């Protein structure tokens, strides 16, 4: 008997506490409502993911507030921005290549037109063969589905004055790069001009979450979407997601000697060499699963120089060296969807090594889910990790 009354008392106390908390939130919300600015979405993070999501929503007539402190993660800013529909290791199409490539042109060319800046470039990737079997496999694959991305002929002396190329080379046709720095800066200015940007570190303590809306400082929105790259591992609402982060380092070089000599295609063998103009090239990248800081290291630099010297015959000097952390997930797929407990809160992340190809397509895919109830692809849906989340 005594035990029953004790349980009832504890329950009563819990109810009182709950009611007080709700009351506090209502008062806070209503006080704020007086000068509040209403948006459809708050997007935290203006890397590749947040930028493309925000622009997709704006294009569809939604209002957004982007909150970003650029110093927190460098991945998008330093990325080479390459896109390549072919996985060289097995010579197969990369995941969803056809769908993603078809979507990219529309998004990036449209953005260039909107912002009056050129940042999206088509460039063939020249694959230098490392062994005879690779050459045989390439020719065989030109007759398969991946073949539409592969040149049909082998070139024997591509740039033989400049590079070591004893076994010949072939080209990936539908490839290129996004100048991510230009792209992000142009969109940052655009968001700023439209009063859609708050340049600060997001403060989780200032967030009030309700069933159908969120309030952050003097903004309210239907939903908040976190696009914080690897920093999501420090987000109190999403730190349970199973990231397996990958650090990457990249150097920028200038070829020395004859300035007339150079090339305008991307070269790949062990490393990529991406021409960025003015006899300057980006060379990368390393993959490292420990020492997860965005500081460049001597080890990373040495690895890149060693690989580069196996390809380049001409001298060069290093003019820049950067590192960043890729938001890679254990199953190497994006993570998209609503928080399991708070439906006004969502995540758009896990672009891993391929933000340039994945983000435009999946931004629209996420929009269709949120606004048109079209189900999310199972491979990217956050619910696949539901069991990891503890209420
Ligand atoms: C060396 C290297 C080379 C790469 N090369 C390529 C390539 O060639 N092609 C390709 O497609 N991909 C490449 N990538 C991968 C690519 O960089 C990622 O896929 C992409 O940048 C992920 O973008 P993101 O927006 O999810 O994350 P991030 O780039 O990490 O952006 C997150 C943004 O949110 C901000 N932020 C985070 N937390 C908060 C907070 N609490 N408050 C406010 N702001 C916050 C950060 O400062 C940052 O601006 C490369 C990565 C590296 C490291």
User: How would DSSP label each residue in 176-232?
Assistant: EEE-HHHHHHHHHHHHHHTT-EE-S---GGGEEE-SS-EEETTEEEEEEEE--GGGG
Confidence of residue 372 (pLDDT cuts 50, 70, 90): very high
Question: 360 CB under 6 A from ligand 1?
Answer: no
Peptide bond into 297 cis (omega under 30): no
Of 95, 46, 117, 43, nearest in space to 75 by CA: 46
List Cβ neighbours of 132 (8 Å cut-off, separation of 6 or more). Answer: 167
The tokens for 24 are: 């506090």
Kindly state which CATH superfamily the domain 2-75+182-241+332-388 is placed in: FAD/NAD(P)-binding domain (3.50.50.60)
Q: Cα of 192 to ligand 1 centre, how many Å? A: 20
For residue 94, what is the DSSP state?
P
pLDDT, position 226: 98
Q: Which atom of ligand 1 is nearest to the CA of 235?
A: 41
What's the rounded mean pLDDT across residues 23-40? 74
Q: Which atom of ligand 1 is nearest to the CA of 348?
A: 26
**Cα distance between residue 339 and residue 240, in whole Å:** 11
pLDDT, position 32: 56
CA-to-CA dists, residue 122 to 83, 104, 108, 152, 313, angstroms? 9, 11, 11, 19, 26
Q: Cα of 10 to ligand 1 centre, how many Å? A: 47
Question: 185 CB under 6 A from ligand 1?
Answer: no
Q: Cα of 79 to ligand 1 centre, how many Å? A: 8
**Cα distance between residue 154 and residue 170, in whole Å:** 5
Question: Is 60 exceeded by the pLDDT of residue 2?
Answer: no
Contact 289, 247 (CB under 8 A): yes
**Cα distance between residue 162 and residue 76, in whole Å:** 30
pLDDT, position 389: 79
The tokens for 66 are: 């982007």
**Cα distance between residue 291 and residue 298, in whole Å:** 13
Q: Which ranges constitute the DSSP H helices of the chain?
A: 2-33, 48-59, 75-78, 97-115, 132-141, 180-193, 298-309, 355-372
pLDDT, position 138: 96
CA within 13 Å, CB half, 138: 26
> Given ligand 1 and candidates 326, 336, 346, which is best to mutate, with the most ligand atoms within 8 Å of its CB?
326
Peptide bond into 226 cis (omega under 30): no
The CATH class given to the 88-179+244-326 domain equals alpha beta
Residue nearest to atom 10 of ligand 1 (CA): 354
**Cα distance between residue 194 and residue 217, in whole Å:** 19
Q: Cα of 1 to ligand 1 centre, how many Å? A: 60
Q: 280-284 and 345-349 as β-strands: parallel, antiparallel, unpaired?
A: unpaired
Q: Cα of 78 to ligand 1 centre, how many Å? A: 8
Burial 322-361, CB ≥16 within 10 A → b, else e: bbbbbbbbeeebbbbbbbbebebbbbbbbbbbbbbbbbbb
Question: 85 CB under 6 A from ligand 1?
Answer: no
Give residue for tokens 């903004």: 219
Contact 216, 206 (CB under 8 A): yes
The tokens for 244 are: 């397996």
Q: How many residues in the chain? A: 391
**Cα distance between residue 10 and residue 257, in whole Å:** 81
CA-to-CA dists, residue 279 to 165, 274, 283, 317, 321, angstroms? 20, 11, 13, 11, 17
What's the rounded mean pLDDT across residues 113-134? 96
pLDDT, position 65: 98
pLDDT, position 203: 98
pLDDT, position 9: 78
Q: Cα of 208 to ligand 1 centre, how many Å? A: 27
Convert the pLDDT of each residue in 312-366 to its tens digit: 999 999 999 999 999 999 999 999 999 999 999 999 999 999 999 999 999 999 9
pLDDT, position 160: 86
Give residue for tokens 């030109």: 142
Convert the pLDDT of each residue in 208-241 to its tens digit: 999 999 999 999 999 999 999 999 999 999 999 9
Give residue for tokens 């000697």: 257
Q: Cα of 176 to ligand 1 centre, how many Å? A: 19
Percent of residues, the chain, with pLDDT higher than 70:
94
What's the rounded mean pLDDT across residues 155-172? 92
């Amino acid at each position: 008997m005594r035990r029953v009354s004790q349980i009832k008392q504890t329950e009563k106390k819990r109810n009182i506490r709950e009611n007080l908390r709700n009351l506090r939130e209502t008062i806070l919300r209503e006080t704020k409502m007086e000068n509040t600015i209403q948006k459809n979405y708050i997007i935290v993070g203006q890397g590749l993911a947040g930028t493309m999501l925000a622009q997709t929503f704006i294009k569809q007539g939604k209002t957004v507030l982007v909150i970003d402190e650029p110093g927190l993660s460098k991945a998008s800013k330093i990325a080479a921005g390459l896109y390549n529909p072919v996985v060289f290791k097995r010579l197969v199409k990369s995941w969803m290549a056809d769908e993603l490539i078809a979507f990219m042109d529309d998004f990036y060319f449209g953005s260039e037109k909107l912002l009056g800046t050129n940042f999206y470039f088509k460039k063939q990737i020249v694959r230098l063969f490392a062994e005879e079997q690779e050459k045989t496999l390439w020719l065989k694959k030109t007759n398969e589905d991946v073949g539409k991305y592969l040149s049909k002929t082998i070139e024997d002396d591509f740039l033989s004055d400049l590079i070591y190329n004893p076994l010949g080379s072939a080209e990936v046709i539908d490839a290129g790069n996004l100048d991510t720095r230009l792209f992000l800066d142009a969109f940052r200015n655009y968001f700023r001009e439209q009063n859609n940007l708050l340049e600060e570190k997001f403060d989780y303590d200032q967030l009030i979450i309700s069933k159908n809306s969120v309030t952050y400082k003097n903004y309210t929105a239907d939903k908040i979407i976190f696009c914080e790259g690897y920093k999501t591992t420090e987000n109190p609402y999403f730190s349970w997601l199973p990231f397996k982060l990958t650090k990457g380092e990249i150097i920028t070089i200038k070829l020395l000697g004859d300035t007339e000599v150079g090339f305008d295609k991307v070269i790949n063998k062990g490393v990529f060499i991406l021409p960025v103009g003015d006899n300057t090239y980006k060379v990368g990248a390393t993959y490292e699963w420990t020492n997860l800081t965005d500081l460049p290291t001597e080890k990373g630099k040495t690895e890149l120089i060693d690989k580069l010297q196996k390809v380049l015959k001409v001298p060069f000097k290093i003019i820049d060296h950067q590192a960043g952390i890729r938001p890679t997930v254990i199953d190497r797929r994006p993570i998209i969807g609503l928080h399991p407990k708070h439906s006004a809160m969502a995540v758009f992340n896990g672009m891993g090594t391929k933000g340039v190809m994945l983000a435009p397509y999946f931004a629209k895919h996420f929009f269709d889910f949120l606004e048109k109830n079209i189900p999310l692809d199972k491979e990217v849906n956050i619910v696949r990790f539901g069991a990891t989340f503890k209420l």
